[in-house]
């Protein structure tokens, strides 16, 4: 259930990033960083599909690996803005929430796996 909620939020986040890129009021340098975020959010969605398969297969080791990769996808977007401190990330709150959901999935998988 947590993976499903995370997938929904990640999909919504991807849509938001795409809308911000298309928005004429978004500064070009922010939109350029958001392009990187879009790539990472798409990778996050792929990781979450793999996570669902891992759960179905009962492969909790793989689940942990895939969810760790999902966290890295989100962090990569956040880090891209951190590396350009003059840019304000429009994704800061959403990314924090995604990281929290990923951490929840990871914690649940570790409880089940042990």
| 73 CB neighbour count, 10 Å cutoff | 22
Q: Which residue has the tokens 């492969």?
A: 59
Which band of pLDDT confidence, cut at 50, 70 and 90, is reported for residue 114? low
User: What pLDDT sits at residue 48?
Assistant: 93
Domains defined along the chain, listed by start: 2-113 (1.20.140.40)
Nearest 5 degrees, angle CA 100-CA 102-CA 106? 115
91 pLDDT more than 70? yes
Q: What is the pTM of this model?
A: 0.91
Q: How far apart (Å, rounded) are the C-alpha atoms in residues 51 and 26?
A: 33
Distance CA 20, CA 27 (A): 10
């Amino acid at each position: 259930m947590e993976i499903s909620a995370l997938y929904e939020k990640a999909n919504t986040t991807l849509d938001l990033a795409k809308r911000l890129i298309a928005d004429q009021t978004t500064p070009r340098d922010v939109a350029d960083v958001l392009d990187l975020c879009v790539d990472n959010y798409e990778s996050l969605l792929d990781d979450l599909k793999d996570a669902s398969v891992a759960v179905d297969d009962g492969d909790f080791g793989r689940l942990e690996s895939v969810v760790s990769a999902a966290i890295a996808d989100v962090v990569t977007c956040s880090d891209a803005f951190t590396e350009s401190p003059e840019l304000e990330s429009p994704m800061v709150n959403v990314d924090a929430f995604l990281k929290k959901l990923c951490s929840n999935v990871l914690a649940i998988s570790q409880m089940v796996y042990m």
